[in-house]
Amino acid sequence: MGKNYLLKILAGILFGFMISCDNTTSDPVESGGSGGNGTTPQDSRVLDKITVNNAVQEEYITTNTGILQKATVKDDNTAGATLTGALTYTSNKIISNIKFTGTATGSIDYDFNVILDSNGRVYSTSCVATAPTVPNSYISDFVYTYDATGKLTKVVEKRKVGGMTTYTVFTQTVLNYVGDNISQAVWSKGVVDGTGAPNMATATTNIYNFQNYDMRKSPYSTLPKAFFVVWSLIRPQNFYTISPNNPTSMYFMYPSPTPAVSIPKSYMYDSQSYPTSDQTQTVKYTYKTL
């Protein structure tokens, strides 16, 4: 893993690495978390944009009633490139498909079919990942595990790579919590054994730590939680986006020789406990009023 790999990892987490600071006079409020299917925003606002030095890093296109239609994220590894996720809904306005399309040369497009359970949680997904070359393309299936309280604790993906008809590669993400917030995502990738089960002896592992959460509302909690679960299948360093509050530090560990990354975060809040910027006013969060 070299410099290019590390830049791709950092591109997914640029949007707000800072140390938390209380800058409102209202009492801290815990958020109830993101909605499941995105049809019923939990507040009178939705996240619209995140900018850094006035340049758009993330943009969320929603209807007048707050239903997410499309999300576009800047790819900082390639100048001018973006990755866009377009959502499709059933007749009952439940997320059924999310397709991520990148503009960078050589990028992989991901087409996810999504099934939610009766509680709006992601129950299963399948993905067709299309790369410029067949050997880098694959079809995958995901299995989700929830604990007795409804928290997502593990996601296992099995891939059929390069046109093969059997599973050959797996990824596994194990999620740990402090309260309702994800404190750690342990992401592993390896090959399956002769029975098709993950062979952890072959795996390499990245560990993403999300630490010292505040008690304020996450800006992502205004948008469908199911979207960010699927988004995090591509970028597991983003699993903190399904937490109800905001981490104030992150520490990511990769296999040698890639160095660990430790970046603090800070926030300024409005009277409703939503982040509006970082302490330097470099990172700004804007919302759409419904």
Q: Is the pLDDT of residue 18 over 70?
A: no
DSSP string covering 275-287, please? EEE-TTS-EEEEE
CA distance 82 to 273: 30
Closest alpha carbon to 182 in 141, 119, 223, 225: 225
What is the DSSP code (8-state) at residue 35?
A: B
Number of Cβ atoms within 10 Å of the Cβ of 20: 24
Q: What are the Cα distances from residue 277, in Å, to 64, 163, 244?
A: 24, 46, 18
CA atoms within 13 A on the CB side of 248: 14
Provide mean pLDDT across the span 123-145: 97
Q: What is the DSSP letter of 163?
A: T
Cβ neighbour number for residue 148 with a 10 Å cutoff: 5
Distances (CA, A) of 182 to 59, 62, 176: 24, 26, 6
Token pair of 258, please? 């890639």
In angstroms, the CA 186 to CA 194 distance is 24
Long-range contact list for 24-27, CB < 8 A, 24+ apart? 24/268, 24/269, 24/270, 24/271, 24/273, 25/271, 26/271, 26/272, 26/273
Say if CB 30 and CB 214 are below 8 A apart.
Answer: no
Long-range contacts at 143-147 (CB < 8 A, ≥ 24 apart): 146/121
Q: List CB contacts of 152: < 8 A, sequence separation 6 or more.
A: 121, 122, 144, 145, 146, 175, 229, 242
Helices (H) and strands (E) in the chain, counts: 2, 17
Q: Where are the alpha helices (DSSP H) in the chain?
A: 3-11, 225-234
pLDDT of residue 79: 85
Q: What is the pLDDT of residues 217-255, one digit of tens each?
A: 999 999 999 999 999 999 999 999 999 999 999 999 999
pLDDT tens digits for range 180-204: 999 999 999 999 999 999 999 999 9
- Which of 88, 95, 16, 59 is closest to 283 using CA atoms? 16
Lowest mean pLDDT among 5-14, 61-70, 240-249: 5-14
- Each residue of 44-56: pLDDT tens digit? 999 999 999 999 9
Q: What is the CATH number of domain 3-289?
A: 2.40.160
Report the predicted TM-score, pTM, of the whole model to 2 decimal places. Answer: 0.87
Which residues in 244-260 are b (16+ Cβ under 10 Å) and which e? bbbbbbbebbbeeebee
Indicate the helix (H) or strand (E) that contains 82: strand 81-89
Mean pLDDT value across residues 252-267: 95
